Amino acid sequence: MATINELRERIHAESSEEIVHEYLEKIAESKLNAFITVSGESALARARKIDSEGHEGPLAGIPIAIKDNISTKGIRTTCASKILTGYIPPYDAHVIERLKEAGAIIIGKANMDEFAMGTSTETSFYGATKNPWDIERVPGGSSGGSAAAVAGDDVPLALGSDTGGSVRCPASFCGVVGLKPTYGVISRYGLIAYANSLEQIGPFATSVRDVATLFDVIAGYDARDSTSVKRDVNYSSAMKNDVRGLKIGVPEEYFGEGTDEKVEKAVRDAIHKLEDLGASLKDVKMPHTKYALASYYIIAMSEASSNLARFDGMRYGLRVEDSDWHTTFSQVRAAGFGDEVKRRILLGTYALSAGYHDKYYLKALKVRTLIKQDFERAFKNVDVLITPTMPYPAFRLGEKIGDPLSLYLADVDTVPINLAGVPSISVPCGFSEGLPIGMQIIGKHFDEATILRTAYTFEENTDFHIKQPEGV
Amino acid sequence: MFDEPNKTNPPFSKGSSKYENPDGVKIGLEVHVQLNKLKTKVFCGCTTDYHNDPPNSHVCPVCLGLPGALPVINKKAVEAAIKVGLALNCKVEEHTQFYRKNYYYPDLPKGFQITQYDFPISSQGYVMIEGEDGEHRIGITRAHMEEDPGRLVHEGTIDKSKYTLIDYNRSGMALLEVVSDPDMRSPKEARRYLDKLRNILEYLDVFDGNLEGALRVDANISIMGGQRAEIKNISSHKGAERALLYEIVRQKNVLRRGGVVVLETRHFDEAREITLSMRSKEEAHDYRYFPEPDLVPLKISGWAPAIKETLPELPDARRMRFVEQYGIADDHAKALTSELKLAVFYEEVAKKADPKMAAVWICDVLKGELNYRDLTIDAFRKEHMLSVIELLASKKITEDGAVDIIRTLLDKGGSPEEIVAQKGLVVVEGDIVSTAAEEAIKENPQAVADYKAGKEKALNSLVGAVMKKTKGRADARAAREVLLGKLG
């Protein structure tokens, strides 16, 4: 596995074309099914152009995988759904524009749970992605393709999106670094919405430094997203091996029932490691955590039921002709959406319906406010919160897919962060029977610098991130 | 909140007796006003100037609802909406928020419409109209912002069309939905309300009523306290009046036959001038409103006072000013201010000529001649109106001559001076009138005798004879006086 700096040196010495070619070969030989679309020709053409003309961007000539719910001009974008069959976007998402300006080369579109609805990348119409540490196991989700591709060295960098843990969960299961930024830091323009009020695009890499570099490229204000925030940032400058004086909060609510013993031990060991390095620990109470899952799923499904209404086969995507438009819409949606997507649309529609709206949707919003207040209160006394990212390591393919509720429960430690809109990063902090364990470091709104510094310091003083899956 | 009702009310005529409203008619209107004078659409940068361009030529990821595209509010649209709210005497809120109205329709590219629900931009206003019994107040429930869907083009009629084409050029145009209270008591009042609303919107310069789809009306109507019918697809003021007249008859017939008027949506068939029940599938909507997550709540406190400063003089205020400043009749002031361009035309003429004469000639003659030819005031130059009035005031032409000049200008063009010269319309001198009068007296002994016997009307035939002899170039009033003098 190579870092951005190593790749830059190789591109300088050899060429971007050679690097891209090498990764394309790896992708072709990969058993992970991490990609839905590989844009080899356009990637090579772009690499040749950068080689001949030169490029000063921080990612010049470096290949990257893009989760397939981010709009890429001229490259089909499927959301891993049958319903977007044949859809080739006429425009680039804001993050894609930023990547192109930085010289990055889009090598392909990464597999995911259909419309980002899932925790295992098994709901993809294009088949499940496999975990490079054990190809019998899931890579996590919903950005499973992005995380597996980076962990399996199919590609050095990737973008995912995180609505309720969809970057951090696969980062944890695949043993890579994944960041969910503060809501509003990265423009969502071009991110195909699952639940708009919760989600952010996030970077994946094998090191905290590379995540910060990629984050620097894609973060920033965009007038096309009304929720985008104006801030000058330079996250790479946060790469300091120093946590002296850092106050760490450890919310016991995140180590509750259902948390694997080995996961708990690895995370507590990691926290003590940071304590040894000069940080101090504080107990914090986050009493509304237990309501987070219910609140999250109601809000996410409600928004999804509306966001996905546009997929009616009228203008793009799957088309099924029938007698009238009413029947045509139904036929297209019946044929185009998978079971999990249908389930969430139905539940979300129900939660917003007259007579249930106040009981579910409105109540979920109220709970969301309480959860935000939990974080605000905690952050009065601490700089970061540390928890397990996932309650357990990667499970087996097929193990939970028949039981949606147990899959939803897997998101217990990640969804409160999206409800609060705060930033959070998952970094490797141990192994359980050869499977990676992730630690979640949560920060204050817009304080990515502190969680990146904490993660970087941990990484500099441990070697969990160096270990690679066999065969890579 | 900014509760700033217009304090001044116009001098409405008082009705002789209170309107009885025998059928218990209650009408409320929902008017969709397209803010088509904005440069761009409400949530994207596409132009609003699409009316002469091919279908689907002014679209982008946002107004096509492509996956991943996000709306961004057009600040000018919010300002225009506040302007209208203030002109309709509404309260303008301090915060406003957008909601999603979820329903499926082929013209709706996102499967939901961005509109307002709680926290509309303005509410609780009113407009005054000339009602069945004089001044009548129509309450404005709310005026909220929303986006226009695309336009469906059917082959033939909606029920028989084999296919439907969709033009998304219109998709994302800024709309203001102005919802009235059920305060109208007759189709005539509904039409007057629409006229007034349109008049105000044109004064505000937010709206061009001549463009396709500029103003669309849904009407709610009930009689005798029964259930209401909602009538959709009304596209003109005349259409609204016709649809409502039909609907009153229909509802009365239902009651007369012992039936019950049901709550339903009906479609106005403009060609046949009838309303038709729409299929039940369209009913029982649950729009599942919820706040649009992609648009943050908009803080507009502080906007309204500044916008209020920019409000132009509105029709009622201008009408009052015309009466006071120019001393013209209220009926004339009302007619002149009912159309912004006409009011501007009048005022430019009135500043340089006798304002009373100008009012009479513009309202009573020019407007009629324009209407007859289906022309607007744009078809007549104010310099020509000034010339005509000057010629009249200096008694160089007769009133008949002035009408002739106006007609000729509209039909053939030219200038008033040329037409006077060509047609020999200059008023003849006193000697010729005097000679003609003497001749008329000699030639009509019976009329002279009748007049002297006390029949005043006999004088008219003598005046007629003088006019005939002078080929209409004599001033009738002058001829009359000359005759009276000669008859002693």
How many angstroms separate the CA of residue A217 from the nearest CA in chain B? 20
Contacts of B385 (CB under 8 A, 6+ apart): B345, B349, B353, B358, B361, B362, B366
The reported pLDDT for the residue numbered B284 is 62
Reduce the DSSP state of residue B43 to 3 states and report it. Answer: coil
* A142 is annotated as an active-site residue: yes
Q: How far apart are CA A165 and CA B99, in angstroms?
A: 27
Tally the C-alpha atoms within 13 A of residue B207's C-alpha that lie toward its C-beta: 25
In one-letter notation, the amino acid at residue A458 is F
Q: Which residues of chain B make contact with A84, given a CB cutoff of 8 A? A: 67
End-to-end CA distance of chain A: 8
Q: How far apart are CA B59 and CA B63, in angstroms?
A: 6
Is A91 in Cβ contact with B66 (below 8 Å)?
Answer: yes
How many angstroms separate the CA of residue A311 from the nearest CA in chain B? 8
Per-residue pLDDT of chain B (488 residues; tens, 9 = 90+): 344 444 445 555 555 568 889 999 999 999 999 999 999 999 999 999 999 999 999 999 999 999 999 999 999 999 999 999 999 999 998 999 999 999 999 999 999 999 999 999 999 999 999 999 988 999 999 999 999 999 988 877 666 777 889 999 999 999 999 999 999 999 999 999 999 999 999 999 999 988 888 999 999 999 999 999 999 889 889 999 999 999 999 999 999 999 999 998 899 988 888 999 876 544 567 999 999 999 999 999 889 999 999 999 999 999 999 999 999 999 999 999 999 999 999 999 999 999 999 999 999 999 999 999 999 999 999 999 999 999 888 888 888 888 989 999 999 988 888 888 887 777 666 677 778 888 888 888 888 888 888 888 888 888 888 888 877 777 777 788 888 888 87
The reported pLDDT for the residue numbered A397 is 97
Alpha-carbon distance values, A229 to A172, A412, B55 (Å): 28, 28, 36
Which residues of chain B from 389 to 428 reach within 8 Å of chain A, CB to CB? none
How many angstroms separate the CA of residue A181 from the nearest CA in chain B? 17
Catalytic residue among A39, A142, A228, A302: A142
Decide if B409 contacts B416 (C-beta within 8 A).
yes
H or E element: which one contains B277? strand B274-277
Q: Does B172 touch chain A (CB under 8 A)?
A: no
Q: For chain A, which residues make up each domain, given as ranges? A: 4-244
Q: How far apart are CA A243 and CA A453, in angstroms?
A: 8
Is B290 in Cβ contact with A309 (below 8 Å)?
Answer: no
* ipTM entry: 0.95
The dotted CATH code for A4-244 is 3.90.1300.10
Q: Which residues of chain B make contact with A351, given a CB cutoff of 8 A? A: none
Q: How far apart are CA A160 and CA B151, in angstroms?
A: 37
Catalytic residue among A166, A172, A295, A424: A166
Q: What is the pLDDT of residues A310-343, one digit of tens each?
A: 999 999 999 887 778 889 999 999 999 999 999 9
Q: For chain B, which residues make up each domain, given as ranges? A: 26-309, 315-423, 430-487
Is A79 in Cβ contact with B67 (below 8 Å)?
Answer: yes
Decide if A91 contacts A74 (C-beta within 8 A).
no
Q: Which residues of chain A make contact with B100, given a CB cutoff of 8 A? A: 306
The reported pLDDT for the residue numbered B283 is 53
* A67 is annotated as an active-site residue: yes
The dotted CATH code for B430-487 is 1.10.10.410
End-to-end CA distance of chain B: 75
Per-residue pLDDT of chain A (472 residues; tens, 9 = 90+): 899 999 999 999 999 999 999 999 999 999 999 999 999 999 999 999 999 999 999 999 999 999 999 999 999 999 999 999 999 999 999 999 999 999 999 999 999 999 999 999 999 999 999 999 999 999 999 999 999 999 999 999 999 999 999 999 999 999 999 999 999 999 999 999 999 999 999 999 999 999 999 999 999 999 999 999 988 778 888 899 999 999 999 999 999 889 999 999 999 999 999 999 999 999 999 999 999 999 999 999 999 999 999 999 999 999 887 778 889 999 999 999 999 999 999 999 999 999 999 999 999 999 999 999 999 999 999 999 999 999 999 999 999 999 999 999 999 999 999 999 999 999 999 999 999 999 999 999 999 999 999 999 999 999 999 999 986 6
- B480 DSSP assignment: H
Is B106 in Cβ contact with A223 (below 8 Å)?
Answer: no
How many angstroms separate the CA of residue A146 from the nearest CA in chain B? 19
